């Protein structure tokens, strides 16, 4: 198939080749087109650090661009009770901060927030499976050496075990989300 301009302004002539008897049908044209990238559900794990707030802005931008549903998740790790901290309610405090984060992106995209208790990477993976998440966008603190060995890397474990793609946002990297968009 060849396209040639005609003598008239704006005209176009299409020539079919010897083996082409008609124009291709839409299904044939669609078969040649690259697949569309579709996201319906995005999960954004947060731990209230600056880095996880940064990854939340990425998640909000992705959700807005693809018209996807955004879910924030915070996982409260279980620690043995400490007597001096008995008056502090970590669950209520975490719920309030999670709700503040959800509200902070409400002008960009509607989002829901869930809170779980347990090992963070396990609960993130479990939530992604239960909610049928298409993409997880999370932060990494970039720890190395002894700190990584002692604290582990939640991001690394999620990347290794998640049943969906994972976008990892580093603390210091080249930005591709505009500040006014998020």
CATH number at residue 151: 3.40.50.620
Beta carbons of 68 and 42 less than 8 angstroms apart: yes
Average pLDDT score over residue span 142-165: 73
Residues 174 and 103 in one domain: yes
Sheet with strand 69-76: strands edge to edge: 111-117, 69-76, 41-45, 135-140, 166-170
Distance (Å, rounded) from C-alpha 4 to C-alpha 2? 7
Mean pLDDT across the chain: 81
Residues 23 and 89 in one domain: no
Residues 104 and 174 in one domain: yes
At 149, the pLDDT band (50, 70, 90 cuts) reads very low
The pLDDT of residue 2: 72
The pLDDT of residue 141: 75
Average pLDDT score over residue span 46-53: 91
pLDDT tens for residues 72-85? 999 998 766 555 55
Structural domain of 170: 41-181
Residues 64 and 108 in one domain: yes
The pLDDT of residue 132: 97
Residues 13 and 80 in one domain: no
Residues 19 and 109 in one domain: no
Residues 21 and 90 in one domain: no
Number of domains comprising the chain: 2
Query: Does an H or E element contain 126, and which?
Result: helix 120-130
Give me the count of residues in the chain.
182
For the chain, give the percent of residues with pLDDT over 90.
51
Residues 28 and 87 in one domain: no
The pLDDT of residue 38: 85
Of these ranges, 6-20, 39-53, 145-159, 164-178, the one predicted with the greatest mean pLDDT is: 39-53
């Amino acid at each position: 198939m060849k396209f040639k301009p005609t003598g008239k302004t704006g005209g176009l002539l299409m020539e079919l080749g010897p083996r082409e008897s008609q124009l291709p049908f839409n299904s044939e044209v669609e078969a040649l087109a690259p697949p569309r990238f579709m996201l319906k559900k995005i999960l954004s794990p947060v731990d209230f650090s600056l880095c996880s707030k940064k990854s939340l802005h990425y998640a909000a931008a992705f959700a807005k661009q693809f018209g996807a549903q955004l879910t924030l998740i915070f996982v409260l790790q279980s620690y043995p009770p400490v007597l001096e901290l008995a008056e502090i309610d970590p669950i209520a405090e975490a719920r309030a901060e999670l709700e503040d984060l959800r509200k902070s992106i409400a002008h960009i995209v509607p989002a829901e927030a869930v809170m779980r208790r347990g090992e963070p990477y396990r609960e993130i993976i479990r939530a992604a499976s239960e909610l049928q998440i298409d993409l997880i966008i999370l932060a990494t603190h970039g720890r190395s050496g002894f700190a990584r060995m002692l604290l582990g890397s939640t991001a690394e474990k999620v990347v290794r075990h998640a049943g969906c793609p994972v976008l990892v946002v580093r603390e210091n990297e080249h930005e591709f989300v505009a500040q006014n968009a998020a």
